[in-house]
Every structure is written in structure tokens, then in C-alpha cells.
Amino acid sequence: MRPLHEADAFTGKIFIESCIQEFLWSCQTIKIKMIQLYSRNYIRFDQGISRTFYSSGMSQGFQNSANQRGFSATQIAFQPDVQPRRKHPGQPRAQCQRGSLIGKLRACGKTFIIGAMSEIEHPFHPVNDTGAQAAALADAIRRWASELGFSALAIGESTLSPHAGEGLRRWLAAGCHADMDYMTRNVFARLHPAKLLPNVSRVISVRMSYWPDAAPAAEVLENGALAYVSRYALGRDYHKVVRSRLQKLAERITRVVPASTRVFTDSAPVFETEFAQCSGLGWRGKHTLLVARDTGSKPSSGSCFFIGEIFIDLPLPVDAPVSSHCGRCTACLDACPTGAIIAPYRLDARRCISYLTIEHPGSIPEPLRPLLGNRIYGCDDCQIVCPWNRRCPRSVEKDFTVRNGLDCATLVSLFAWDEAEFLQRTAGSPIRRIGHERWLRNIAVAIGNAPRSPEHLAALHARAGDASDLVREHVHWALGRQSV
């Protein structure tokens, strides 16, 4: 790059060609490399920048861009400085929410040169890509994902094998989806991601670990007076957390290369586990969840993570699938309390506790109620016994920290929540979406399975006249068990 003292017009050309806008959005501070080449300082660097931005209307462009990206509080202003100011050279020219656009410019040198203008040296252009550029972009995406808290990222094709479609159709035909009828309506979209993003060519899959520091799962499951809540649901709703991080990642990508993207996490008809498996993010365990075996400096094996996807229309290099490491193990099939894993890789939702306590809207089938134990929201049993979860990392995400002591609360205390308290305590939690009625239904079943005690009987009697038919029916069932 030539020195900036030559002309304002030339300065502007440099800035525009160098993608200064993308660069500024990526940085909090610009570091300036100063090289003393000339004996005279004809034009000050900060003066050149401010004049250029001012005369080219770029400040308005920055402001528009800031507003579009949701930085509503951002104020960007440029002051033209028509005279060199040798005495106070380090004055900032622009401020934004993320820090100083132009930080301290120390005028200890004679000529000022910007040492780096872009985060990656060769922004990826699909038309003239050499392969190396695409690989560099893929590496950058992986790095950004790590910075955003994702434990791993893998890139896969956007087409699925016919085998995936056949398996899904067989599963639906057998009725294993229970009353999740939406699954039958969106099979085509599930198998053809172009329905969700035209021209999609890659699916970027990510993982985010969620297992929080919480009361030991096995101890809570053994204590029938306590409520067991699936460990993924003890903190903030993962839909919000993962989706917002994915959106940030997608925006970071489109800052350096033009692309269309859409982000998903359990929020649309996306065959998530299948895409994740094809990209090598892990393998599908016999319990049907994705399992990973990471090595290296930060091993994070297991299956206790959320997955999410970015659909993108760039031909990024794809990662290779990994082989299955289930071997002869059948621990998850053997451990399922209701026998919902009817065969390896085949889950019958009609028997699955996660389905029965979360998705299922009506009465829980009586033969299954005793098998639920004290599980009032979801179930982790198939994951707890999986040998790959012995090294399951604890999540460092504050959002997944346990809220309201839900990791080891008593059934009686949770059963006492009225609707207002339920809504208040589950604000921002995935539990909220099941509503107060299903919450009471599930706890009534758990109290019916709990050791007989005056406290349990009293709690059930207090709800015996509940306004909800559903709740009353489950309470009466539980009273029958507690009164024997």
C-alpha cells in the first residue's frame, strides 16, 4: 500500500478497495503500523481518513449499516480536519458501540501505513476461487465458531443420501412419531434443504456443550422425593442461545464474503442429526442422538450438546464423515426406562419419556406412568449410561447455569407453584413452553411414583380439585398409588 499523503482521492480508493467497512465491523481497535520513510509529514493519517470518510459519504453508509445490524445505539460521526494538527495528532475521529474506530494515532513516525485491512488475506470469491481461498475461509469460520462458544464445527454437503429419506419414511409409516403430525407434513423440506434456502450448497453444523454444574444426575434419579429435569433444560432456553450465536457467525461470514445464509436450531424441518453426521460432526448413536469423540487439546466427547446449522450458498470444502464408535455396546437400549429404543437407531416416540413429558399434550398412558419415576421434564438415561459421556465436558456457558434450583428441587415444592409462579420462574427457560397444566400433570405422576409420605399425600389432596381435567385425572391416579 502506498503512503496516504499523496491525495485524498487516492486515500478513498484505498479504503474502498480494501474493504475497510468489513474490517471496521470486525475490530474494536485498528492497529496502525508506522514506518518512517519520509523526512516530511505532508498529510496526517487521521486527517486523511476523516476527509475521505466525510467527502465520500461513507459515514452515512456506516450509520445505515450499523442500524441494519441492530446496533441501534451506535452513533458514528466524522469530523473533517482540513488543517494538519501537529500538536494533537492522536484524536479519535469516530466512535461506535464496539469501541473506537480510529484509536490513538501516535504521530511518532513520518508516514502512516495501515498494516492490515482485512481479517483474512484473500477473501473468498466463488468465481475465481483457487481452493486455497475456500479452505482459508473454512478455517476462519471454524475459528470464529470457537470464539462464539461452539465446541466444534463441520461442513457438509446440502444433499442427503436416499437412505436417509427411506429411513425417515419407514419410521413415520410405523407411527413412531406419535402425534407429532407436523413431521409427516414436512418430509420433503426435511430432505430438500433448498426448500428453506434456494441455492443452498453447504450445511455448516455446530455443537455447543450444555451439561451444567448441577446435582449429580444419578443421585437425583435415585431420590424419589426429588424432581429430575433433563440437564439441558436447567438454564436458559437453548433455542435462544444457539440461534443468536449462529446468527452472529453467519453475519461474520457475510461480512467477508457475499453469501445467502439461514440459521436453524431445532426450529424448522431440518434433518439436523443427519446433516451433522454427514459433515463428520459426530456419528449417530444407537439411541439416535449424535455422539462425538474429540481428541486433541480440548477433548469433548459424548452427546451432551446442542446442534445447530447454517445453510449457505457457498461451495465451501466439506469435511469427511466419521465412523461409528458404538461397536457392540447396547447400554442405551438397555437403560431406557420405557424401552423406547426399540432397536438400534430406532426410537419410538410413543414410549419416550422426553416425548411424553414435553411434546405429548394429553393423558400419559397409565402403563407407562410408573416407568417415568421422578422424571418431570425430559430424560437423560440413555446419555448417562453412554460410555462416551464419561468425559463429557461441563458447559462454560453462563446461560446454561442452573436456575431456580431445578437440578434437585423437591416434587412437593414444584407442585405448589401456581401458574403465575410457573410463568415467572420459567421465563426464558425451555420448560415454559409445556405450560403449567402439563407441568402439574408430570409432577402428579412423579409424586404417584414417589415413596409414600404425608407430604406427598397432602400435596396431591391440595390439587385434587384442580380446574384442569387433565391434572385432576393424574392427581387421582397418584392418590391411588400414595394411599395404598
Min. distance of Cβ 332 from ligand SF4 in angstroms?
3
Size of the site for ligand SF4 (CB under 6 A): 13
Nearest distance from C-beta of residue 320 to ligand SF4, angstroms: 20
- Nearest to ligand SF4 of 193, 337 (CB atom): 337
**387 is a contact residue toward ligand SF4 (CB under 6 A):** yes
DSSP 28: S
Distance (Å, rounded) from C-alpha 454 to C-alpha 288?
41
- 285 lines the binding site for ligand SF4 (CB under 6 A): yes
Report the alpha-carbon distance of residue 442 to residue 289 in Å, rounded.
24
SS3 474: helix
Which residues contact residue 349 at a Cβ distance below 8 angstroms, ignoring those fewer than 6 apart? 176, 177, 178, 180, 340, 355, 359
329 binds ligand SF4 (CB under 6 A): yes
Instruction: Kindly tell me the burial class for residue 457, based on how many C-beta atoms sit within 10 Å of its own C-beta (0-12, 13-18, 19 or more).
Output: middle
Helix (H, G, I), strand (E, B) or coil at 374: coil
Taking alpha carbons only, the member of 92, 400, 133 closest to residue 257 is 133
Task: Give the Cα separation of 381 and 402 in Å (integer).
Answer: 19
Nearer to ligand SF4, 100 or 324 (CB): 324
Binding mask 12-41 for ligand SF4 (x = CB under 6 A): ------------------------------
* CB of 249 closer than 8 Å to CB of 148: yes
Please state, as a whole number, how many other Cβ atoms lie within 10 Å of the Cβ of residue 317: 13
The vertex-315 CA angle with 310 and 317, nearest 5°, equals: 90
Per CB under 6 A, does 217 bind ligand SF4? no
Q: Are 324 and 283 in contact (CB under 8 A)?
A: yes
Q: In angstroms, what is the minimal distance from the CB of 347 to ligand SF4?
A: 11
Q: Taking CB under 6 A as the rule, does residue 282 contact ligand SF4? A: no
Q: Give whichever of 145 and 291 is closer to ligand SF4, judged by the CB atom.
A: 291
Q: Which stretch binds ligand SF4 (CB under 6 A): 129-137, 161-169, 177-185, 328-336?
A: 328-336
Closer by beta carbon to ligand SF4, 250 or else 333: 333
Q: Segment contacting ligand SF4 (CB under 6 A): 123-131, 164-172, 189-197, 326-334? A: 326-334
Q: Which is nearer to ligand SF4, 386 or 446 (CB)?
A: 386
In this structure, what is the dihedral angle of CA atoms 280, 167, 304, 139, given to the nearest 10 degrees?
20
Between strands 375-377 and 228-229, the pairing is parallel
φ/ψ of 474, rounded to 5, equals -75, -35
Piece in contact with ligand SF4 (CB under 6 A), picked from 27-35, 193-201, 329-337, 417-425:
329-337
d(CA 309, CA 270): 9
Cα 10 to the center of its chain, rounded Å: 43
Q: How far apart are CB 285 and ligand SF4 at their closest, in Å?
A: 3
Nearest residue to the partner ligand SF4, using Cβ: 285
Nearest approach, Cβ of 383 to ligand SF4 (angstroms)? 8
Which amino acid makes up residue 427? A
How far is the C-alpha of 480 from the C-alpha of 476, rounded, in Å? 6
331 touches ligand SF4 by CB under 6 A: yes
Part in contact with ligand SF4 (CB under 6 A); list of ranges 273-281, 349-357, 380-388, 408-416: 380-388
d(CA 380, CA 336): 9
388 is a contact residue toward ligand SF4 (CB under 6 A)? yes
| Shortest Å, Cβ 346 to ligand SF4 | 12
Q: Is 266 marked active-site?
A: yes
Show the DSSP H helices in 57-158 as ranges.
Answer: 58-68, 132-147
286 binds ligand SF4 (CB under 6 A): yes
CA distance 227 to 325: 33
| Contact assessment for residue 465 and residue 480, using Cβ atoms and an 8 Å cutoff | no
Question: Which run of H or of E encompasses 112?
Answer: strand 111-114
Question: Of 8, 81, 179, 266, which one is the catalytic site residue?
Answer: 266
Residue 287, interface with ligand SF4 (CB under 6 A)?
Answer: yes
> Which residue in the set 114, 226, 257, 326 belongs to the binding site for ligand SF4 (CB under 6 A)?
326
Establish if 292 lies at the interface with ligand SF4 (CB under 6 A).
Answer: no
Q: Check binding of 291 to ligand SF4 (CB under 6 A).
A: yes
Q: Is the dihedral of CA 98, 102, 105, 111 positive or negative?
A: positive
Q: Number of C-alpha atoms within 13 angstroms, CB side, residue 406?
A: 27
Mask of contacts with ligand SF4, 235-274, x by CB under 6 A? ----------------------------------------
> Would you say 311 or 388 has its CB closer to ligand SF4?
388
The region of 91-99, 174-182, 274-282, 325-333 touching ligand SF4 under the rule CB under 6 A is 325-333
Residue 284 has φ and ψ, to the nearest 5°, of -80, 115
Shortest gap between Cβ of 113 and ligand SF4 (angstroms)?
Answer: 56
Give least dist CB 27 to ligand SF4, A: 43
384 binds ligand SF4 (CB under 6 A): no
Using CB under 6 A as the binding rule, whether residue 386 contacts ligand SF4 is answered as: yes
Q: Smaller CB distance to ligand SF4: residue 284 or 474?
A: 284
Q: Which residues are catalytic?
A: 266
Binding site for ligand SF4 (CB under 6 A): 285-287, 291, 326, 329-332, 385-388
